[in-house]
Structure 1
Amino acid sequence: MRKIALLLILISTAIQAQTSFVIDTTYTPKSVYNKEKKTYPFISIVQPRQYSNIKEKKEILYSEISGRKLRLDAYFCSNNTQNPAIVILHGGGWKSGNKSQMEIFAQEVASKGFSCFTIEYRLSQEAKYPTAIFDVKKAIRYIKINAAQFNVNPSKIAVLGCSSGGQMAALIGTTNNNSHFEEKEKNNKTSSAVQAIIDIDGILAFKHPESKEGEIAGLWLGGSYEEKPEIWKEASALTHTDKHTPPTLFINSSKERFHAGRDDMIAILNKYKIYNEVKTIENSPHSFWFLNPWFDETVTYTTQFLNKVFK
């Protein structure tokens, strides 16, 4: 009986470790559709499609920290060649959303000759900045170490994110090989550097004339701009953009607030002759990537850019 009781206590402790934070489910494709359908009555939520040329491996454990398990899902072209990889980060204001929301996008892109990974990372109600950045960089290292399992060319990795995930993707790509943004780990010899950035409607600067970030950003950054000005600056990709920044694609809605800092970043990229593209989807809402008629356009811009950069 004592062994059984001890086992139950251990199981209970493990479950509590996994769920001792608030799970925010407010941001979903359905909630986006319900919000936008009055303004855009012609829209529909993208539905799953069938793909005969991709393999899937889900719920892969890439990190465990104090009992907290972090997982990723892999979708990769079954062509038995080394393909460029895309690390995909969901949106949700750094506090909501989950990796499964990007599944259809990952499947579609994988079917075109890529290896795609949707990443679970810790959100603001569980852990503050820069924890999520550490998580994703650790996932990138995991993918490189296990590249052969997923038909990945470890020298051709892009990071792509949507909304807050786009902000994170840009920050991750602009801080390649920056030790300040790497969680200290023993025997960590694999670089988390990426070779391309795709920012889909994610801001590039938290405090900027074009920016309207406030309480939600402050929740992730650990305080308001007045309380944490240096953190707001540090967490902005624009702060770190320099001659080492990889080629970058910006895919934007027609909502200007989600372009904050973009033109300033492009000016720096152009100064150093770093390849970049801007694709603006006219008359589109934020979170357009969940919706028809913009889903296929987003996929096309993504794959065309990566084919140009990698292939």
Structure 2
Amino acid sequence: MKTSILLTFILFFGLSSRAQLVEINGIPMDTSYTPHSAWVKLKKYYPNVTPVFPKLPANVSATYDIVYATLPKTNYGKRELKLDIFQPKVDGEYPALIMIFGGGWRSGNKAAQVPMAMQIAKNGYVTIPIEYRLSPEALYPEGVYDIKAAIRFVRANAEKYKIDPDRIAITGSSAGGQLAALVGMTADVKKFDGYSAEMDQSVEVQAIIDMDGVLDFTDPNESAKDTDPNKRSAGAYWFGATYKEAPEKWVEASPLVYAGENTPPMLFINSAQPRFHAGRDSVITVLDQYHIYTEVKTIADSPHSFWQVHPWFEETVQYMTDFLDKILK
């Protein structure tokens, strides 16, 4: 119990605003990016921002740390991957939203998605922040496999958690947005399947929400960062190679490559920082050709990580809920 309480504190508030590798239960983790560290960084430039904390609505129940996959053989021994579930207390069958945290594929934790998950759940959704393996523990594409395993688990246990298995959406912020888009666009791409206990279950989703997640890794804002060999980019850490060393990995992980007639409707919620729009307009151009519904919400004068703080938290939740209502209800 003491370990669990300490872990929750570290993952929400962090130990340092600088990159810091620690071992938690024998697993290397970078604790530098948390909701608290995001607020501390942002308030230097936006002094009126305030932190967002979890607040469970009266009509929502919460279940934490459900094991959705057990990996018997990893570099760090047996590994359990976990998710949280927030669901309306009233009986029924609800659409589900799988939620992917960000942090440069290196830092962060599912706790960052919990405040948003709680507020969306009160509007008639089952919301599911999930854990996945980050670059200090496992390189690309292992985290992609983890997210697909989570979708299979959710679909296999839909009745238990009041979920309509035909109405499942996925969302993510920053690196989580890139992952949500990649997973959402590649249901039929076998190389990303990985393995989990519910391989008979579909990994299709019916909607995607991308919050400031890049869709094209070949954009110079991402691919041209590795000019200093002693200061590797987040992408280079995740791929285990720079763009120059292994361009095929950077291309393969770009959601833009997979945009097409089978892509579900998409909502893009963007900050005012152009760097995080990489590939968005190209994806929309492709989807327009197939008459696939898209929306873009760009929050004026906002920084990256806008979803982590007030005053942009409520606006973000409203955009997400409105889109989900339109597509899934």
Selected match of 2:147 from 136, 140, 143: 136
**How much does 1:39 deviate?**
1.3
Tell me the residue number matched to 1:103.
Answer: 114
Change (3 A) 1:45 1:185: closer
| In 1: Cα distance, 2:145 partner to 2:111 partner | 20
C-alpha contact (below 8 Å) 1:18/1:69 kept by paired residues: no
2:167 aligned with 1:149: no
Looking at structure 2, the residues matched to 47 and 93 of structure 1 have their Cα atoms a distance apart, in angstroms, of 22
Instruction: Tell me the residue number matched to 1:219.
Output: 237
Matching residue of 2:63: 57
Q: Which amino acid aligns with 1:274?
A: I
Contact 2:149 2:195 in 1 (8 A): no
Matched, 1:113 2:124: yes
Q: Distance in 1 between matches of 2:133 and 2:198?
A: 23
Matched, 1:72 2:83: yes
Matches within 5 A, 1:2-17: none
1:86-116 CA distances to partner (integer Å, 9 max, x unpaired)? 0000010001010111111100000110000
Supply the AA of the counterpart residue of 1:237.
P
Letter in 2 for 1:255: Q
> Which segment is superposed worse, 264-273 or 76-85?
76-85
Corresponding residue number in structure 1 for 2:279: 261
Inter-partner Cα distance in structure 2 for 1:272 and 1:48: 39
Q: In the aligned structure 2, how far is the partner of 1:156 from the partner of 1:231? A: 31
Contact 1:74 1:117 in 2 (8 A): yes
Match of 1:198 in 2: 209
Write the deviation string for residues 135-179 of structure 1: whole angstroms up to 9, x where unpaired: 010001000110112111111111100000000000001101211
The Cα of 1:253 is off from its aligned counterpart by: 0.4
**Which residue of 260, 266, 280 corresponds with 1:242?**
260
Runs of at least 5 residues in structure 1 that lack an aligned partner in the other structure: 1-16
Partner of 1:161: 172
Q: Can you list the C-alpha shifts for 1:255-293, whole angstroms capped at 9, x where unaligned?
A: 110000000000001111000000001111111111000
- After TM superposition, give the deviation of residue 187 of structure 1 in Å: 6.7
* Counterpart residue type for residue 61 of structure 1: V
Post-superposition offset of 1:19: 3.6
Who is 1:46 aligned against?
52
Does the CA-based 8 Å contact 1:18-1:68 persist in structure 2?
Answer: no
**Structure 2 counterpart of 1:287, from 299, 302, 305:** 305
CA distance 1:80–1:236, shift in 2 (3 Å): same
TM-score, length of structure 1 as denominator length: 0.92
Letter in 2 for 1:76: Q
Could you tell me which residue of structure 1 aligns to residue 11 of structure 2?
none
Looking at structure 2, the residues matched to 259 and 112 of structure 1 have their Cα atoms a distance apart, in angstroms, of 28
Q: Secondary structure, in 3 states, of the residue corresponding to 2:159?
A: helix
Check the 8 A contact 2:222/2:235 in 1, yes or no. Answer: no
d(CA) in 2 for partners of 1:59, 1:41: 34
Give the counterpart letter for 2:326 in structure 1.
K
User: 2-side partners of 1:275 and 1:129: how far apart?
Assistant: 29
Q: Would the aligned equivalents of 1:75 and 1:117 in 2 still touch at CA under 8 Å?
A: yes
Going from structure 1 to structure 2, the CA distance change for 1:33 and 1:272 (only over 3 Å counts) comes to: same
Count of matched residue positions in the alignment of Structure 1 and Structure 2: 295
TM (norm. structure 2) is 0.87
Identify the residue that residue 83 of structure 1 maps to in structure 2: 94
Pick from 182, 196, 204: which aligns with 2:193? 182
Deviations 1:159-207 (A, max 9, x none): 1000000000000011012111101457721111111100001000111
Contact 2:99-2:129 within 8 A present in 1 as well: yes
Cα distance in 2 for residues equivalent to 1:206 and 1:194: 23
Deviation, 1:211, is 4.1
Residue pair 1:210, 1:259 contacting (<8 A) in 2 also: no
